[in-house]
Amino acid sequence: MQRSTRDILFIFIGLFVSFGTLWASKSAVETRLRRDVAYLNSLGRSTDGERSLTMSIETQFKADAARIHELRKARLGYGDMTVVLAMASHLQGGITKANVDRIVALWRSSRVDGWGKIAKSMGVRLQRVVIQVESLSPRRRSAA
C-alpha cells in the first residue's frame, strides 16, 4: 500500500511539474509577442518607422495600402496590425476581410485576455504568429 501511495504521489508531482513547464513556455511566447507588439507600435509613431513598416507589411502579407489604411482607421497600432494579419494568414482563406474583421472584433472584445487566447480560440499556434511578427522588423538590439 505504501508503495502505490508513493507511486501515485510521484505521478501527481510529475504532472504538476509538466503543467508548470507548459504554462511557463506559453507565457514566454506571449511575453515575446507583447514586447514585439509594443516595439512595432512605438516604431510606427515616427514617420520613417511608419513608412518602413507599411512597406514591410505590404511585402510580407501582400496587404495593399487600402487594407493597411483601414486597419489604421480602426485604431490598430502597427504591432497589433501585424498580429492580426499574421493570425489571419493561418486561417482558412488567408488574409481576407472576413478573417481580419473577425480577429479585430475578438481583439476589441477581449483585449485583457491577450493575443494568446484569441489565437487559441481561432485554432492558430501563437508561436507561428510570433515568428512572423519578429521577422517584420529589425530586432531592438540591432536598432540601438
Going residue by residue through the chain (144 aa), what tens digit of pLDDT does each one get?
A: 566 776 665 566 665 655 544 444 557 889 999 999 999 999 888 888 888 888 899 989 998 888 888 998 988 999 999 999 999 999 999 999 999 999 999 888 865 568 888 898 889 999 999 999 988 855 443 443
pTM of the entire predicted model: 0.74
22 domain residue, yes or no: no
Judge whether 14 lies within some domain. Answer: no
Say how far apart CA 58 and CA 33 lie, in whole Å: 20
What pLDDT is attached to residue 65?
85
Residue 103, domain member (yes or no): yes
Go through 104-113 and write b for each residue having 16 or more CB atoms within 10 A of its CB, e for each that does not. Answer: bebbeeeeee
As a whole number of angstroms, the distance between CA 62 and CA 92 comes to 16
Q: How many distinct structural domains can be found in the chain?
A: 1
- Look at residue 63 and tell me if it is in a domain: yes
Q: Can you say whether the dihedral through the CA atoms of 78, 43, 53, 70 is positive or negative?
A: positive
Instruction: Tell me the C-alpha distance between 105 and 56, whole Å.
Output: 24
Query: Does 4 map to a domain?
Result: no
Residue 76 belongs to some domain of the structure = yes
Q: Which three cell numbers stand for residue 89?
A: 494568414
Question: What is the domain range of residue 74?
Answer: 32-143
Residue 114 lies in a domain: yes
Q: What is the pLDDT of residue 98?
A: 94
